Structures are given as C-alpha cells and as structure tokens.
C-alpha cells in the first residue's frame, strides 16, 4: 500500500485502548471530501462462504432516547475505551459517544479544550479489532445513520489494519458518505484487511446517530447476534408511514432476517397519534406477516411473546390470530381484548428448539371481520443461552492437534457459530479437518446437519 503522507499528517491516530491516549477526531476539512448521494455497494455472490466479522445493534445503550440522548459520554477519559457492559462485543472505543435509547449518538466534542490546535467537532466511534484475514476480496461495512443537522453531514468511514512494516496501525482506505437528517442504510466496501483490522466512523460537521453496524465478508450473511436471553426482538422501528411489510425498511432487524407475506392482501407498518410503529392487519381481509431466518442456534427453552390490540371497542380475543412456527401451527392462548387500541400481551408461548426460526402471523377474513382490524407489536423470542461445554452429541467430532476433526460426514454442511449465535464459518459436506489457527480461543457451536455441538477451541 502506498501511504499518503499528507493525509496521514492530517489524520490523528484514533484512540482505542491499545493505541494509547485519547485523541481528537480526524481533522480533514469538509471541502476535501467528494460527497456522494448513493451508496457504493458491491454486488455480493450468494455462492460465497458467509463470514460475519462483527455485529452491534447498541441494544444495551438503554439510557436516554433519540429525542433526548443521555448526557454522559461513556468513553473513558484516559484511553477512549467503552466498557464492555454497553456492547455485545468488548473493545469498542471513541470520543463523544452517548446512549440514545438503543442507538449510539455522537455528540459535540470540545477538542480545543485539550489542545488549542484541535478543532471542535462531532464525536467518533471505533470498532473492536476483528479478523479480516480470511477474505482476499475485502469486506462490507453496513450501518444505519442520520445527522442531527437539517442540512445533513458527511460521514467518513475508515478501514484500518496493523502494518507490521510500520509496527503500528495504518489506515487502508476511506469512504465519505453524504447523510441527511433522515434514517438511511449505508454500505461501504472495504479493501482487504488482516487479522487485526478495525473501522472508525466520524462526522465532519454535526452530531449524528448510528445503529446496526454490521461487518461481513464478500457474500456474507449478517446474523444479528442475540443479547443475553433475548434471541430476537422486533418493535418495527420508529418510522411507520403505512407502508406494506415488504416495502418497509425501518425494521429493528436486518439481513438475513426477512419480512414478507404470502397472501394477496398485505398488512402494513404504521403509527397512530397514540401508538408507535406496529403492524396493522386490515379488517375483512386475509393477510399475513412472515418473519424468517431468525437465528437461535444453541438456545434452549425458547419462548415467543407479542402484543395485540384491536381498532374497535368490540370485545375480541388474542387467539383470533393463527400462528405457525417453522410451518407448524401452534396454540395461541386465550386473552380477552376489551379496550380499543390498548395492547394485551400473549405471555410466553413455548417453542421447539431450532437453529433457525420462521414465524407466520395470519388473519383470515372470518377472524378479522368488518370494523375490527388488529395491531401487532413487540415480537420477541427468548431462550436460555448455551453455557459451558457439553459432552459430544455426535460421535467423531473433536479437537486434536490444532484441528477440528469431523469423522464420517458424507452429506451435511458444517456451520460454526460463536457463543452469541453468529455464524463465523461454513464448510461443505465431506469436510474432515478444519484448522483452528484463525479462530480465537473460546466456546463455539458446531452444527452438522441437524445436530449442534458445543466445543472448546
């Protein structure tokens, strides 16, 4: 890589705990950017092996809200690190990072108070180190963002890696993205990294919000990692707007989770003056909502819950809805609905253990007559996460001499998940040995066909 020393001079080395003292955001002037209004998205091949490198949805940023972010910068004064209790994976850092009710907010930082030569500006956020050495074609950085300013901003996205020739961290590339004050999804294709790669994102003019950061390899499938006992949670975002479930884009969960319908009529996602975004099933129509590709690998004691309301004051019941889980009907409990536009909870409904879950919420014309109409919100699946290391449940699967050995596997693909339920590797049938030198030490879930086994690498 040919290093640009002029740009490097303008770019302060960012602060992660391994880099030393906290530094200001990068100080390139806004006019040096060539702002773009479209995402640079490289076509992905569905045949490529999916490898998820990093995923963070900031669900542990519980303080504050999007309207009023919390007032405490959660980055360390000494080194910029963010406590691991705030994120799904430890190692995040930055400056001017605030909680905003499930979102990350980059507030204004007075860098000049530390050094008069530094310009004040918005904060920035830096990912943990991740291993990008498994791909020769680069990796994809995806996230949602919006500027606080009505005039928008330019976000700079850097991808960086450890340069052994410099014995330091170096930046490998940059992409600048024009964002507005409306939520949108942005995708950047990074060039090749190595085993110690990281990404940092910062604004140039205004405070901004960011959410759902996902980093994956060419052709990778992003699996939103479960947090604690919550395997899946969908609140249908904030936008609403009476858009059909297949047109709506502000879902809490991104790829590979898919929202679709199989009926000719469809429900839509909307808000009311008193109710936030939810799915509306119109009266006197047959409609359904299908949520597929929900990862639950390794979780046991799975339970489904959701909230239902009606648009009429006529007494009804929650069990008017038909639900299929992995194409099998389940019993929906009887819960009276007696007040118009007031949610009732289904309570916990037990589900069979499965590595992937597909939900179908279905109303028939008979179950949703004229002047009713139903609203569904807060679809959640909980479960008991895997702990410890189980004895092998499939003969001939073990670790020896730095390799995972799989005996007598003639027909099943092999999928390896980390303990959070994120698939990190996939191998074809007939694979007999897998080198483990590229894996971090820890507990992994090895899925072979329909069997899942926990193994310590």
The pLDDT tens digits of the residues spanning 152-181 come to 999 989 887 766 555 555 555 678 889 999
Task: Assess whether pLDDT exceeds 80 at residue 293.
Answer: yes
User: pLDDT higher for 419 or 2?
Assistant: 419
Among the CATH numbers 3.30.1490.100, 2.60.120.260, 3.10.180.10, 3.40.50.1100, which is that of 230-384? 2.60.120.260
Q: Give φ, ψ of 155 to 5 degrees.
A: -90, 135
**pLDDT of 175-210, one tens digit each?**
888 999 999 988 888 876 777 788 989 888 899 999
Question: Among 89, 96, 151, which Cα is nearest to 120's?
Answer: 96
Residues near 381 by Cβ (< 8 Å), separated by ≥ 6?
A: 230, 231, 232, 233, 294, 296, 302, 303, 304, 351, 357
Given this model, what pLDDT does residue 19 score?
A: 37
| Domain at 5-217, CATH class | mainly beta
Taking the C-alpha atoms of residue 345 and residue 318, their distance in angstroms, rounded to an integer, is: 8
**pLDDT of 90-122, one tens digit each?**
889 999 999 999 999 999 998 888 778 788 889
Residues near 387 by Cβ (< 8 Å), separated by ≥ 6?
A: none
**DSSP SS3 for 417:** strand
Taking the C-alpha atoms of residue 191 and residue 194, their distance in angstroms, rounded to an integer, is: 10
Task: Assess whether pLDDT exceeds 50 at residue 278.
Answer: yes
Determine if the pTM surpasses 0.75.
no
Q: Give φ, ψ of 128 to 5 degrees.
A: -65, 165
Q: Which two tokens stand for residue 375?
A: 């609203």
Average pLDDT of the segment spanning 388-400: 52
Strands 108-109 and 374-384: unpaired
Task: Assess whether pLDDT exceeds 90 at residue 308.
Answer: yes
Q: Give φ, ψ of 5 to 5 degrees.
A: -70, -25
Task: Assess whether pLDDT exceeds 70 at residue 366.
Answer: yes
Given this model, what pLDDT does residue 170 score?
A: 53
Q: How many CA atoms lie within 13 A of 303 on its CB side?
A: 12
- 361, containing H or E segment: strand 356-363
- Following DSSP, what letter does each residue of 282-323 receive, concatenated? -TTS-EEEEEEEEE-TT-EEEEEEEEEEESSSS-EEGGGSEE
Q: Is 19 exposed, middle or buried (0-12, 13-18, 19+ CB in 10 A)?
A: middle
Task: Give me the percent of the chain exceeding a pLDDT of 90.
Answer: 33
């Amino acid at each position: 890589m040919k290093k640009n020393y002029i740009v490097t001079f303008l770019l302060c080395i960012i602060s992660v705990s391994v880099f030393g003292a906290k530094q200001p955001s990068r100080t390139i002037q806004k006019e040096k950017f060539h702002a773009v209004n479209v995402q640079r998205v490289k076509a992905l091949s569905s045949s490529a092996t999916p490898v998820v490198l990093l995923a963070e949805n900031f669900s542990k940023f519980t303080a504050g809200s999007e309207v009023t972010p919390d007032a405490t910068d959660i980055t360390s004064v000494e080194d910029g690190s963010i406590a691991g209790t705030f994120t799904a994976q430890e190692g995040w850092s930055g400056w001017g990072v605030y909680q905003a009710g499930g979102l990350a907010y980059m507030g204004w930082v007075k860098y000049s108070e530390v050094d008069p030569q530094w310009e004040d500006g918005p904060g920035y956020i830096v990912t943990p180190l991740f291993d990008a050495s498994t791909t020769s074609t680069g990796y994809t950085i995806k996230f949602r963002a919006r500027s606080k300013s009505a005039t928008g901003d330019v976000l700079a996205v850097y991808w960086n890696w450890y340069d052994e020739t410099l014995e330091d961290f170096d930046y490998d590339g940059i992409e600048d993205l024009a964002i507005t004050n409306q939520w949108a999804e942005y995708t950047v294709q990074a060039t090749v990294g190595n085993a110690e790669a990281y990404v940092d994102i910062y604004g140039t003019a205004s405070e901004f919000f960011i959410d759902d950061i996902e980093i994956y390899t060419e052709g990778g499938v992003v699996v939103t990692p479960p947090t604690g006992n919550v395997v899946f949670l969908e609140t249908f975002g904030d936008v609403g707007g009476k858009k059909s479930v297949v047109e709506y884009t502000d879902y809490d969960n991104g790829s590979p989770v898919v929202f679709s319908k199989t009926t000719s009529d469809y429900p839509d996602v909307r808000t009311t003056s008193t109710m936030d975004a939810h799915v509306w099933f119109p009266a006197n129509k047959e409609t359904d909502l299908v949520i597929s590709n929900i990862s639950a690998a390794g979780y046991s004691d799975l339970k489904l819950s959701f909230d239902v309301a009606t648009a009429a004051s006529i007494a009804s019941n929650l069990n008017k809805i038909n639900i299929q889980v992995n194409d099998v009907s389940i019993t929906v409990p009887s819960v009276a609905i007696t007040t118009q536009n007031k949610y009732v909870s289904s309570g916990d409904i037990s589900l069979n253990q499965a590595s992937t879950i597909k939900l179908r919420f279905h109303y028939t014309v008979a179950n949703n007559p004229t002047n009713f109409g139903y609203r569904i919100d807060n679809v959640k699946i909980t479960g008991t996460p895997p702990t410890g290391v189980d004895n092998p449940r499939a003969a001939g699967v073990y670790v020896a001499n730095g390799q995972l050995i799989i005996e007598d596997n003639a027909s099943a693909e092999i999928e390896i998940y980390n303990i959070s339920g994120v698939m990190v590797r996939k191998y074809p049938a007939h694979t007999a040995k897998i080198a483990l030198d590229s894996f971090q030490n820890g507990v992994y879930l090895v899925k072979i066909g329909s069997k899942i086994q926990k193994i310590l690498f």
